[in-house]
Structure 1
Amino acid sequence: MPGRPLSRRTTLGSALAAPLALAACDIDPPPRESESSPATPPPPEDSALVAAVVAALVRAQSVLDAAAAAVPSLADRLGPVRTAHAEHLEVLVGAVPEADLPTAGAVSVPAQILPALGAVRRSEQRLQREVREGCLAAASGDLARVLGSIAASTSQHSAALATEVTS
């Protein structure tokens, strides 16, 4: 059943209200800093949070590396995820330069494609949970935004891996 046609008054009111509604939104990203400027260190209360997220990223990256080693044909599929994690690590480690980069323990991944992808997907889901919790716990708005971006990236990669596991 077709909807009611809009009256001239409704159309005009909507047209006038739209710029006001859009002007009230402040979703523009902050201006980019120059490439040479160092990352802003998080407040002291966020340092432990950054260290925990860095450890989670290192753990997830070790699962990706183990999966690519166990099933070499997965290396291309996992490449974008590995690249994203490396970039996220670079940002977070740059924010806390005095912290040591943790090492992950040995990871065992099955040598078959579907079980290996399943292990990667579970690892990515765990990472996403940890980053999302960190986003909520961050005292710094800048850190919360960075962690939100990492959570969104991880969510997209997890969704892509889920479709690959079932296909």
Structure 2
Amino acid sequence: MAGAAGAATAALLTGCSGGADAPEAAEVPPERPLREGAVRDSEALLERYDATVAAHPSLAPRLAPLRAAVAAHVGALAPDDGRGKASASPSAAAPTGPGPGTGAAGNPPGKTPGKGAEPVPAQPAEAVTALATAERDLAEARTIALAGASGELARLLASVAACGAVHTYLLSQNPGGKA
């Protein structure tokens, strides 16, 4: 009996001592990388909206509601770190930076707004078409990502992808117009 008790104690100690990192690993939800990627994608789209409005201020009224929805997606997709949803990044705030005639980070129209971002087209209609393409591409990517998501995250991604599809439609209708 003493031998069995010793073996059981050894097994418990081995399980406890070898698992210093195991509790932390168990606390990280498996969907977290997918959520973080979705947040980064939404932030990049948000930056594209900001750069487009900065390059073409006349588009601001038309793009404002769509941009607001994308900003809301950042907050909704942010991983819950136990203190509530993570707040949207500073780029999710209303643009307060460069004024008309400059792109994001003060770049002139037609210049690259951010690292790895495409330049904003010089013509407003082309800029709206580029936003529609970005929205469509992201909606398609999110639809594909559904296969690897848990139930709750899959429903959220599906909703955000549907919203992106609606944005694509709205941006594709009369790209040079105000409505």
In the superposition, the TM-score normalised over structure 1's length comes to 0.65
1:58 positional shift:
0.8
> Is 1:63 aligned to 2:73, yes or no?
no
1:134 positional shift:
2.0
Amino acid of the structure 1 residue aligned with 2:147:
L
Distance 2:54 2:87 in 1: 29
Q: What is the Cα-based RMSD across aligned positions, in Å?
A: 2.7
The aligned residue for residue 152 of structure 1 is 162
Distance 1:82 1:63 in 2: 9
Q: Secondary structure at the match of 1:164?
A: coil
Aligned residues: 125
More moved, 102-111 vs 70-79: 102-111
1:94 positional shift:
5.1
Q: Which has the higher contact order (CA 8 A, sep 6+)?
A: 1
Matches within 5 A, 1:1-167: 44-93=29-78, 95-96=80-81, 105=115, 107-138=118-149, 140-165=150-175
For structure 2, which runs of at least 5 residues remain unmatched after alignment? 1-26, 92-113
Q: How has the CA–CA distance of structure 1 residues 102 and 125 changed in structure 2, closer, same or farther, with 3 Å as cutoff?
A: farther
The aligned residue for residue 18 of structure 2 is none
Q: Secondary structure at the match of 1:108?
A: coil
Q: How has the CA–CA distance of structure 1 residues 128 and 43 changed in structure 2, closer, same or farther, with 3 Å as cutoff?
A: farther
Moved over 3 A (4+): 96-104
Whether the 8 Å CA contact 2:124–2:176 is kept in 1: the answer is no
Amino acid of the structure 2 residue aligned with 1:151:
A
Residue deviations 1:19-39, cap 9 Å, x none? xxxxxxxxxxxxxxxxxxxxx
For structure 1, which runs of at least 5 residues remain unmatched after alignment? 1-41
Whether the 8 Å CA contact 1:71–1:113 is kept in 2: the answer is yes
Bigger radius of gyration among the two: 2
Which has the larger helix fraction? 1
Residue deviations 1:64-108, cap 9 Å, x none? 111111111111111111111111111112535579959762552
Q: Secondary structure at the match of 1:95?
A: coil
1:166 positional shift:
7.0
